[in-house]
Structure 1
Amino acid sequence: MNQLADTAREGGPERLTAAVEALAPILVGLGGDFAMTAVLAGACVEWGASPMALADVLPRRASEAMMLNEAVPEFWDKAAHGRPLPEPVSASSPQLVRTLTGLTRWRRGMDKNTMTRMAMSWFDMEDWLKPLITVMADAGFRAAVPDDVKAELREHASAVAHRSRRAAWVDALAAVLDDEPLVVIDPRTRQGYALTMSGVGDNGQLHILLADRLVGDPGQSLVVGDRPSRSWVEAATDGDPHLGPDDPAIRLFRLFDGRGTYIGPEGVPADIEPLDGTRVIVLHPPNGNYALGLGRVFEHMTPTLRLDRILEPAETEHWLARLAPAVENDLMAE
Structure 2
Amino acid sequence: MPSEIQRLVDELVTEMKSGSAPAYRAAMKRLADTARAGGPESLTAAVDALAPLLPGLGGDFAMTAVLAGACVEWGASPMALADVLPRRASEAMMLNESVPEFWGKAAPGRPLPEPVSASTGRLVGTLTGATRWRRGVDKNTMTRIALSWFDMEHWLKALITVMGDAGFRAAVPGDVKAELREHAAAVAHRSQPAAWVGALAAVLDDEPLEVIDPRTQRGYALTMSGVGDNGQLHILLADRLVGDPGQGLVAGDRPARSWVEAATGGNPRLGPADPAIRCFRLFDGQGAYVSPEGVPADIGLLDGTRVLVLHPPNGHYALQVGRVFEDMMPNLRLDRILEPAETERRIARLAPAVENDLMAD
TM-score (norm 1): 0.99
Indicate the residue corresponding to 1:321 in structure 2: 348
User: Is 1:101 equivalent to 2:128 in the alignment?
Assistant: yes
The whole-number CA distance in structure 2 between the counterparts of 1:69 and 1:306 is 40
Equivalent pair of 2:211/2:309 in contact (CA under 8 Å): yes
Q: Which amino acid aligns with 1:13?
A: P
The whole-number CA distance in structure 2 between the counterparts of 1:183 and 1:16 is 41
Matched pairs, number: 334
The whole-number CA distance in structure 2 between the counterparts of 1:326 and 1:211 is 20
The whole-number CA distance in structure 1 between the counterparts of 2:177 and 2:94 is 14
User: Is 1:124 equivalent to 2:124 in the alignment?
Assistant: no
User: Is 1:10 equivalent to 2:37 in the alignment?
Assistant: yes
Aligned ranges 1:18-57 → 2 under 5 Å? 18-57=45-84
Q: Which amino acid aligns with 1:290?
A: Y
Q: Which amino acid aligns with 1:143?
A: A
Residues 62-112 of structure 1: CA distance to partner in whole angstroms, max 9, x if unpaired?
000000001100110000121111000011111111111123355442100
The whole-number CA distance in structure 2 between the counterparts of 1:294 and 1:84 is 37
User: Is 1:269 equivalent to 2:296 in the alignment?
Assistant: yes
The whole-number CA distance in structure 2 between the counterparts of 1:114 and 1:82 is 24
Indicate the residue corresponding to 2:162 in structure 1: 135
Equivalent pair of 2:106/2:133 in contact (CA under 8 Å): no
Indicate the residue corresponding to 1:180 in structure 2: 207
Equivalent pair of 1:215/1:226 in contact (CA under 8 Å): yes
Indicate the residue corresponding to 2:281 in structure 1: 254
Pick from 122, 146, 151 the counterpart of residue 173 of structure 2: 146
Equivalent pair of 1:172/1:268 in contact (CA under 8 Å): yes
User: Is 1:312 equivalent to 2:339 in the alignment?
Assistant: yes
| Structure 1: runs of 5 or more not aligned | none
Pick from 314, 318, 322 the counterpart of residue 287 of structure 1: 314
The whole-number CA distance in structure 2 between the counterparts of 1:269 and 1:123 is 32
The whole-number CA distance in structure 2 between the counterparts of 1:278 and 1:170 is 25
Secondary structure at 2:308 match in 1 = strand
User: Is 1:165 equivalent to 2:214 in the alignment?
Assistant: no
Q: Which amino acid aligns with 2:327?
A: H
Secondary structure at 2:130 match in 1 = helix
The whole-number CA distance in structure 1 between the counterparts of 2:136 and 2:230 is 44
Indicate the residue corresponding to 2:102 in structure 1: 75
Equivalent pair of 1:103/1:110 in contact (CA under 8 Å): no
Secondary structure at 2:181 match in 1 = helix
The whole-number CA distance in structure 2 between the counterparts of 1:107 and 1:275 is 47
TM-score (norm 2): 0.92
Identity %: 84
Secondary structure at 2:68 match in 1 = helix
Indicate the residue corresponding to 2:16 in structure 1: none
Indicate the residue corresponding to 2:8 in structure 1: none
The whole-number CA distance in structure 2 between the counterparts of 1:14 and 1:291 is 44
| Structure 2: runs of 5 or more not aligned | 1-27
Q: Which amino acid aligns with 2:338?
A: L
Equivalent pair of 1:183/1:279 in contact (CA under 8 Å): yes
The whole-number CA distance in structure 1 between the counterparts of 2:260 and 2:234 is 10
Equivalent pair of 2:229/2:292 in contact (CA under 8 Å): yes
The whole-number CA distance in structure 2 between the counterparts of 1:103 and 1:265 is 47
Secondary structure at 1:331 match in 2 = coil
User: Is 1:199 equivalent to 2:236 in the alignment?
Assistant: no
Equivalent pair of 1:259/1:324 in contact (CA under 8 Å): yes
Q: Which amino acid aligns with 1:193?
A: Y
Alignment RMSD: 0.8
- C-alpha deviation, 1:329, in angstroms: 1.0
Residues 9-58 of structure 1: CA distance to partner in whole angstroms, max 9, x if unpaired?
11100100000000000011000000000000000000000000000000
Residues 252-272 of structure 1: CA distance to partner in whole angstroms, max 9, x if unpaired?
110000000000000000011
CA shift in 2, pair 1:15/1:160, >3 Å: same
The whole-number CA distance in structure 2 between the counterparts of 1:5 and 1:96 is 31
CA shift in 2, pair 1:302/1:107, >3 Å: closer
Equivalent pair of 1:135/1:141 in contact (CA under 8 Å): yes
The whole-number CA distance in structure 1 between the counterparts of 2:250 and 2:76 is 42
